[in-house]
Amino acid sequence: MLFLPAPNGARAQSRGVLVQQSSAQDGRDYRLLLYNTHTAQLIEIVYRRGGQYIPDALAQLDYFLRDHRTGDVRHFDPRLYDILYDLTSAIGHSGGEIDIVCGYRTWSTNESLRAHTTGVAKNSLHIQAEAIDLRMPGIDTLDLRKAALSMRRGGVGYYPHSDFIHVDVGRVRQWCFDCPFGLTAGD
């Protein structure tokens, strides 16, 4: 892993960057630009080339999305990265930065969150590294929710008061935490 200063810009200067060095172009590159809101790290990485996931890139993403409270790492379902990649296109910002609010969390972290906050599921897919909570800078989270719902690729949760959405690789479903009545049915 290579840590470099982030590109120019006040926000970017305060974070470290993890960079995946890419080799020969063997098909289409699937690239993600992610910022971890808890560790202040930024990673720009090619995680898949054509139909092949890149094992080293997946390992770097697993570490990037670790439980920031414990440092524990778990292997993520790579279909989740495909959802993120496609979500940036669906919202009209292909390759745009995604701010990660929550990736993997251990059972103990999940229980602690359940004890101190609302809206945390007992059997959260975050525990299985099959869910990510996110937002995109400059994109309204309601629009982001609509784009995620239109993909019909797993669960989509909307948390308007915390300004993030949840996406996962579970069954197709939706929920809206503490939302006005009109949003609970899916617009």
pLDDT in tens, 137-154: 999 999 999 999 999 999
Segment 113-123 shows an average pLDDT of 63
Summarize pLDDT for 66-91 with one digit per residue, the tens.
999 899 999 999 999 999 999 999 99
Q: Which among 76, 55, 63 has a CA at the least distance from the CA of 167? A: 76
For residue 9, pLDDT beyond 70: no
pLDDT at 45: 98
Over 80: is that where the pLDDT of 3 sits?
no
- Report the pLDDT value the prediction gives residue 175, as an integer from 0 to 100: 86
> What is the domain partition of the chain in residue ranges?
2-184
The percentage of the chain sitting over the pLDDT mark of 70, rounded to a whole number, equals: 73
Work out the pLDDT band at 114, boundaries 50, 70, 90: low
CATH 3.30.1380.10 assigned to domain 2-184? The reply is yes
Where residue 158 falls among pLDDT bands split at 50, 70, 90? very high
* pLDDT score at 112: 62
Q: How far apart are CA 157 and CA 167, in angstroms?
A: 7
Comparing CA positions, the residue from 48, 155, 31 lying closest to residue 85 is 31
pLDDT for residue 20 is more than 70: no
- CA-based torsion, 108, 114, 117, 118: positive or negative: positive
The pTM assigned to this predicted structure is: 0.80
Within 13 A of 4's CA, how many CA atoms are on the CB side? 10
At 16 the pLDDT is 39
Q: Which residue has the higher pLDDT, 71 or 22?
A: 71
In terms of Cβ atoms closer than 10 Å to its own Cβ (0-12, 13-18, 19+), residue 21 is exposed
* Whole-angstrom distance, CA of residue 134 vs CA of residue 168: 11
Mean residue pLDDT of the chain comes to: 82
